[in-house]
Structure 1
Amino acid sequence: MAADELKVRSEKLRKAGLAIAGIMGGVIFGIVALTVPFVLPALRKYCLPYVPATPIQTETVLRHIRGRAGRVVDLGSGDGRVCIAAAKQGNFAVGYELNPWLVWYSRWRALLSGVRQTTEFHRRNLWKVDLGEYSTIIIFGVDTMMEPLWTKISKEVLSKQTPLRVIACRFPLHQQTPTISHEMGPHSVWVYDYFTM
Structure 2
Amino acid sequence: MGSELITGQSVSGSQGLMSSSGQLEESRGRGAVRRWGIIATCAVGGSVCALYALAGPFVAPALRKVCLPFVPATTAQVSNVLSVLRSRSGALVDIGSGDGRIVIAAAKEGFRAVGFELNPWLVLYSCYRAWREGVHHRTSFYLSDLWKVSFSQYSNVVIFGVPQMMEQLEAKLQSELQTSAKVVACRFPFPTWTPDHMAGEGIDTVWVYDAKTFKSQVTTAKPLNNPEDSKTLPQ
- The alignment status of 1:89 with 2:91, answered yes or no, reads no
1:102 corresponds, among 122, 129, 139, to 122
Aligned to 1:175: 192
Deviations 1:75-110 (CA, angstroms, capped at 9, x unpaired): 011110000000011111101111111111111111
Larger radius of gyration: 2
Structure 1 gaps of 5+ residues are none
Aligned to 2:63: 43
Aligned to 2:181: 164
> Shift of residue 191 of structure 1?
0.5
Aligned residue for 1:133, secondary structure, equals: coil
Deviations 1:10-59 (CA, angstroms, capped at 9, x unpaired): 11111111111111111111111111111111111113211111111100
* C-alpha distance in 2 between matches for 1:50 and 1:172: 18
Maintained 8 Å contact 2:80/2:200? no
* C-alpha distance in 2 between matches for 1:194 and 1:4: 83
1:192 corresponds, among 206, 209, 212, to 209
Deviations 1:141-189 (CA, angstroms, capped at 9, x unpaired): 101111110100111114xx4x100000011112111111136221110
Aligned residue for 2:68, secondary structure, equals: coil
Aligned to 1:76: 96
Aligned to 2:43: 23
Aligned to 1:115: 135
Look up the equivalent residue of 2:175 and give its one-letter code. K
- The alignment status of 1:143 with 2:160, answered yes or no, reads no
Aligned ranges 1:7-22 → 2 under 5 Å: 7-22=27-42
- The alignment status of 1:6 with 2:30, answered yes or no, reads no
> Shift of residue 67 of structure 1?
4.0
Aligned residue pairs, count: 193
Maintained 8 Å contact 2:174/2:211? no
* C-alpha distance in 2 between matches for 1:187 and 1:195: 25
* C-alpha distance in 1 between matches for 2:49 and 2:166: 35
Aligned residue for 2:195, secondary structure, equals: coil
* C-alpha distance in 2 between matches for 1:4 and 1:165: 80
Aligned to 2:74: 54
TM-score (norm 2): 0.79
Aligned residue for 1:131, secondary structure, equals: coil
Aligned residue for 1:30, secondary structure, equals: helix
* C-alpha distance in 2 between matches for 1:93 and 1:65: 12
Aligned to 2:13: none
Aligned residue for 2:152, secondary structure, equals: helix
- The alignment status of 1:126 with 2:143, answered yes or no, reads no
TM-score (norm 1): 0.93
